[in-house]
Amino acid sequence: MLSPLDRRRLSIRVGYWLTFGFLVLAAIIAVVPMYWLFTDGVKSSIEISALPPTWLPQHPDWHGLLDNNFTASWNLLNLGHYLDNTLILVAGSLALQVLVSVTAAFSLAKLQPAYGKIWLGFFFTTLLVPMVTYLIPQYLNISSLPLVHWNIGNGNWIYLGVLLPEAANAFNLYILKSFFDDIPDEIIAAARIDGANALDLLVRIVMPMSKAVLAVVAILTMMASWKDFLWPYVVMAGDQDHQPLMVYLFYQWQNRSLGTPDNVLFASFGLVSIPPIVLFLIFQRQIIRGISLTGLTG
């Protein structure tokens, strides 16, 4: 972005190094909590509570690390069961998001339904409303579904009670519609002449051309579902057997006085943090490419 001639100017050099220093500082601030999380999994419970806190573990148990902390947290807290619950919610959220957001974005971008811009405006206004403001109405809806009056907030339907209200996401709709709008209408018109219906257009024309943005939506959806806490916490407060990892570990932290060591809890927090980090590291190229294709910033 800066030519060699620009770099010779004092004001440019000062601005460059100030920006570089700010980015390094921001990166350090972002990494420190993760560093603290994983090092607390190596410390003893007494050292975790020590004041002033220790940046480096004084007596790290490297030899018995897996047996004493991480493996212990997996077995003691039965994390495998709650991992299964989380994966069910992640898979269900991904399926519903692709089904609802992709079809809605395709309809608004290429099928041009009546009053499409008005409906799109209604969707986008939900981005301006904090989730907590419609938390109670949303819970009342799943407690008694309109028209059929089914309660999907407990029992075997409880996963659906968590997933159904989050099936439509205005943010994902915006990303997908922005990309679909850039697909030439001539391609759609040519496919219509060849006899393609709306489903053929979506499955055989639009989706194969949209792999990058679909990957972005899929990754963002999986990461959001993995770390989602508030809504599952509200729905599953009284059903510990079906809780995802985030809700279950919150209750474990609240009840740590019952005997679970702090270092074991921190080790479990570290284990839960690994999958989204690995997912981002593997697919960061697709995320960056999708952001550049959609023009999304921030």
Please, what is the Cα angle at 95 between 89 and 98, to 5 degrees? Answer: 135
Residue 68 has pLDDT above 70, yes or no: no
> If you average pLDDT over residues 274-280, what whole number do you get?
84
Which of 184, 177, 221, 226 minimizes the C-alpha distance to 205?
184
Which of 6-10, 131-135, 187-191, 280-284 ranks highest by mean pLDDT? 187-191
- Reported confidence tier of residue 82, pLDDT bands at 50, 70, 90: very high
> If you average pLDDT over residues 176-191, what whole number do you get?
88
Tokens of 279: 């997912």
pLDDT digits (tens, 9 = 90+) for 34-64: 888 888 777 777 777 777 877 877 766 555 5
The number of residues making up the chain comes to 298
Residue 298 has pLDDT above 50, yes or no: no
List of domains in the chain: 4-72 (no CATH), 77-294 (1.10.3720.10)
The C-alpha atoms of residue 277 and residue 33 are separated, in whole angstroms, by 14
The C-alpha atoms of residue 116 and residue 165 are separated, in whole angstroms, by 22
Q: Per the confidence metrics, is the pTM higher than 0.85?
A: no
